[in-house]
Amino acid sequence: MKKKFAAIAAAAALAITALAGCGSTNTTAESSAPAETAVSEAAPSEAAPVETASSEAASTEAAATEEASGEVAAEIPADLSGTVTMAGSTSMEKLANALAESFMAAYPGVTVTAEFTGSGAGVEAVTAGSVDIGNASRNLTDEEKANGVAENIVAIDGIAVIADTANEVAGLTADQLASIYKGEVSNWSEVGGADQPIVVVGREAGSGTRSAFEELLAIEDQCAYANELDSTGAVMAKVASTPGAIGYVSLDVLDDTVKTLAVDEVEPTVENIKGGSYALSRPFVMATNGEISEQNEAVQAIFTYLASEEGKALVEGVGLITVD
């Protein structure tokens, strides 16, 4: 049975306005004592409302922060101990590493480790019981679910289409993109670019990013790759250094070494993915062998942490979209 991990709604952050500075007027030696006294007496009265409002806002923010932290603390024992092992998607490396670091800092008695072996390998490992969590950057297959693996969606990621920075093309239609990856379009001039061969770069078989990309474009098992690489970083590096190259990567790893291409005139942004206008998006799944409630205390705590305000902030901090 399909199990989706629903995260709690993000609490609104409180903004505190900066204290207004009290201006002072230089007075000469000829200024009278009564005037100085009047200014001195007026200042505390004028400043008091600002100070009070600021103090109240600060207290409110502190209370909200304490309450949010308390929600997690109330559910996870401070003396929690144990180990959590993860393996799987290389696209989830940034999230997994940030989660491990943050969780171990909050709960020093727990050791969290992660390996990045690809989505398929991660699901196989959790099915076999060799790891606690199998990270997959795609939905689980019916066969995987039939084997007792629970699909726990912890974030949503966009798949960005990238080219080298010198490429003149600003975007492609989904049909053009599919045609390029099937080998039907082989020169950038055919899609409004320069007369330059297209170098088709993608991930290796078993990659969650590849599976999601091909499924979303309905081109499974039809692609004509020039390069099939075994990590997100390798795709980024290859496209950045290869004139005429095209590739696809997780949204959270984008930097200025490559150029992103719009798909059907829609840019790959968090706002567009949340709004549903950008087509290439997929779930980040932390699969477990059985339901979360059947896992050991440390594994259950990982999911509790991800569902908290701290966890949602962590997800957003690595460029992903929280699950509402």
Low-confidence ranges of the chain (pLDDT < 70): 1-74
Number of residues assigned to the chain: 324
Residue 206, pLDDT score:
86
Q: What letter represents residue 132's amino acid?
A: D
- At 319 the pLDDT is 84
H or E, element range at 172: strand 171-172
Q: Tell me how crowded residue 231 is: count the other CB atoms within 10 A of its CB.
A: 18
Contact of 260 with 161, CB cutoff 8 Å: yes
Number of C-beta neighbours around residue 311 at 10 A: 23
**Beta carbons of 112 and 84 less than 8 angstroms apart:** yes
Q: Among 3.40.190.10, 3.50.50.60, 1.20.1440.230, 3.90.1150.10, what is the CATH number of 157-281? A: 3.40.190.10
Answer yes or no: are the C-beta atoms of 234 and 210 closer than 8 Å. no
The four Cα atoms 249, 251, 256, 257 give a dihedral, to 10 degrees, of -10
> Half-sphere exposure of residue 283, counting CA atoms within 13 Å on the CB side?
18
CA–CA separation, 89 and 162 (whole Å): 20
What are the backbone dihedrals phi and psi of residue 249, each rounded to the nearest 5 degrees, phi first? Answer: -145, 165
CB 301 within 8 A of CB 295: no
Structure confidence at residue 284 (pLDDT)? 95
Three-state SS at 294: helix
Element (H, E) at 251: none
Cα dihedral 245/246/252/257 (nearest 10): 30
* DSSP line for 231-249: SHHHHHHHHHHSTTEEEEE
Contacts of 240 (CB under 8 A, 6+ apart): 164, 165, 257, 258
pLDDT digits (tens, 9 = 90+) for 69-96: 445 545 899 999 999 999 999 989 999 9
SS3 151: coil
DSSP string, 69-82: HHHHHHHS-TT--E
Residue with tokens 């990013």: 209
Q: Where do the structural domains in the chain lie, given as residue ranges?
A: 157-281
Q: Which residues contact 205 (CB under 8 A, 6 or more apart)?
A: 228
